[in-house]
Chain A
Amino acid sequence: MGTKLNHESLAELREIAARYPQPRSGLLPMLHLVQSVEGRITPEGIEACADVLGISAAEVSGVATFYTMYKRKPVGDYHVGVCTNTLCAVMGGDEIFARLKDHLDVGNDETTADGKVTLEHLECNAACDYAPVMMVNWEFVDNQTPESAVQLVDDLRAGNEVRSTRGPRICTWREAARVLAGFPDGRADEGPGAGPASLVGLGIATERGWSAPDADRADRADGSTDHPVAEEPRQEAAATADAGTKEAEAAVVEKESPTTGTAAEKGDAR
């Protein structure tokens, strides 16, 4: 019954809204904050957001039900995700997920009886070069096997310290939600800059002495220079600048995640 949202939380909700030119832009991080305090999206949390933003609870609810990271049921201390999108699934994610369901005796999006672990299968989490990938409270746990996955959840349930393979010591799900709400926890410096797979190409280039061309007067071609160059870049007709403006506008479809081009382009491609 009783909400854990107190005056301090309400002040923080207002603080989030104030980061934006229009307060409603704060709603997504505000809902993350609700989860960090309440352990899920509660009716009280929805009301609080609605009050702060001056919109209806139905409007907030509509948003809270759209995004998959918002949970209506209590989540365990550790949200354990297994990527089962195609590449990770094929590389073993399906087997890992099946093993964990069996080991933890839970189904998808269910929490263990001790309230420690919530298991969920995930869509692609942008770490395909580390497949099969798992996430614990949205920290990367790379290159997993069924055995390592079982060990991982056992450690989490036993309260042993667990570290992300490319990140810090794993915090609780609620603590993670607070960072997502825009309240840093001071742990950005933990973990490596990059995992091994991220560095493969750079390693080969270093080994073979490959680099981007030297820029005129620039010492290094890594996107930097110690000597700011005063001369403006020479004007050169961009190869792509010949499209008419109107046509070009119609083609502004930079659709990063969902797909990569217009229907027309795809039609042409066939």
Chain B
Amino acid sequence: MSSAATGTTDTLTPVLTAGWADERSWTLDAYARRGGYAALDKAFAMGPDAVIEAVKDSGLRGRGGAGFPTGMKWSFIPQENPNPKYLVVNADESEPGTCKDIPLMMASPHTLVEGVILSSFAIRAHTAFIYIRGEVLHVIRRVQAAVAEAYAAGHLGRDIHGSGYDLDVVVHAGAGAYICGEETALLEGLEGRRGQPRLRPPFPAVAGLYASPTVINNVESISSVPSIIANGAEWFSSMGTEKSKGFGIFSLSGHVQRPGQYEAPLGITLRQLIDLAGGIRQKPDGQGHELKFWTPGGSSTPLLTAEHLDVPLDFEGVGAAGSMLGTRALQIFDETVCVVRAVLRWTEFYKHESCGKCTPCREGTWWLVQTLARLEKGQGSEADLDLLLDQCDNILGRSFCALGDGATSPISSSIKYFREEYLAHLTHGGCPFDPAASTAWADRTVGATA
């Protein structure tokens, strides 16, 4: 039972995830059984501006990381502009640790499609694109099938539900480029070009796809819209915290007993989530491992530690703790993990994914890897830590887009919290950790993997 009557909200609030366990959950039949697509007629009766107002009033903020108010973003579309308006769904989920949109589209693609229709109607777009990263074949199948089903049922195409509103949706598969999660790089990819970010302004709201007014929203943001229209803005904003309204999917991965997706009001703490997940993983003798460090929202958000277990996981709370809520990608690492190894690997990732457009990121991420790799082998000196921070200083705020900024997050935060561990590599002449101790099978199959 919901506890709305008592004025409190339950610890977990499945909305987007509610139908995931249903029989053939990905089909139109299953979605319709839960009242799917009923919000369309309501929205058509409200009119586009009222839909925008409802989303504004709900307090929904972008679920792709930046947390920008979704309704406000929509209201930036200049309706007097004679060009067509476009909606583009950013389904290029690839921030390390982030794994919420992919299961959503696999289990309940119609939630996204209904959200696309409502959102397109609101901004008066007649063509929408769903840009899905190419490396998730079955998810692409499911979204393709959902769009086809929606056309066949009259939820897409001409004169939807007799409203006079037309909408076409194109499912577009990417081809492997983390940078395309950056919204202007994504537009480049969608225009058939190398995925390199564009200078802003002009912002996509004014000159986006084909230089026309374009809204780009994350999968989870768009998928939240049907519930807001169906249940009301007040319903949505009754969950969450003062400035971070509503629910979100929290993705726990790594060294917890039960990694997975937990949908909860914004503001839940990692302590609560780890408790629900059965705690940090245990050894066979029942002894617990300990939380060492974690990312609140993917690898581009500064690391936090056990001292931050009670930080409210909303935009303001995590910001005040020196990091960012990001995509609620909670990667949990226990005491067996070498933070230098972890950070080096992320840094190699940023170097690999740097699009090469700007010098601070292209060259900077290369130098970060050089410096870190030397330290990891125990070959550097303490001065290399200052060198790293100096390199970070020359990237943060100076790169063309936020990829470069994100690359500095794990480095500066890990030096802040684990300086001694970096130095231990120097005194030890290499990494003092045993990588085998961190593996998923370390505690359960000792000796069996040799």
Contact = CB atoms under 8 A, between A and B. Distances in A.
Interface in B257-304: 258-264, 276-277, 297-302
Interface string A83-99: 01111011110110000
A125 interface: yes
Interface in A184-215: 184-185, 187-189, 191, 193-205, 208-215
Contacts of B106: 166, 193-194, 198
A63 B175 CA distance: 10
A225 B11 contact: no
B119 interface: no
B120 interface: no
Given A145-B440, A191-B138, A224-B226, A233 B276 contact: no
Interface residues of B, number: 184
A226 B36 CA distance: 9
A122 B71 CA distance: 36
B135 A24 contact: no
Interface stretch (A1-9, A104-112, A127-135): A127-135
B326 A260 contact: yes
Given A62-B194, A199-B260, A257-B95, A269 B323 contact: yes
Interface residues of A, number: 134
Contacts of A253: 66, 68, 183, 402
Interface in A210-234: 210-216, 218-226, 228-230, 232-234
Contact of A232 (B46, B62, B137): B46
Nearest to A90: B438
B324 A269 contact: yes
A234 B234 contact: yes
Contacts of A135: 135
B10 to A, nearest CB: 4
Contacts of A189: 24, 26-27, 145
Contact of B144 (A124, A182, A198, A261): A182
B171 interface: yes
A222 B18 contact: yes
Contacts of A20: 170
B419 interface: no
B245 A252 contact: no
Looking at chain A's contact residues, is the secondary structure mostly helix, strand, loop, or mixed? loop
B277 A200 contact: yes
A259 interface: yes
Nearest to A198: B103
A247 B173 CA distance: 33
B4 A214 contact: yes
Given A221-B15, A258-B406, A194 B25 contact: yes
A237 B233 CA distance: 11
Interface in B118-161: 127, 133-138, 140-142, 144-145, 148
Contacts of A40: none
Contacts of A67: 134, 174-177, 189, 195
Interface stretch (B305-313, B346-354, B378-386, B420-428): B346-354
22 contacts: A86-B346, A122-B135, A124-B94, A126-B99, A126-B136, A138-B136, A140-B138, A182-B172, A201-B12, A201-B14, A212-B18, A216-B232, A224-B36, A224-B38, A229-B42, A236-B233, A255-B182, A256-B181, A257-B94, A262-B66, A262-B405, A266-B396
Given A32-B173, A123-B352, A205-B14, 8 more contacts: A92-B441, A124-B98, A188-B145, A210-B14, A252-B203, A254-B62, A255-B65, A268-B319
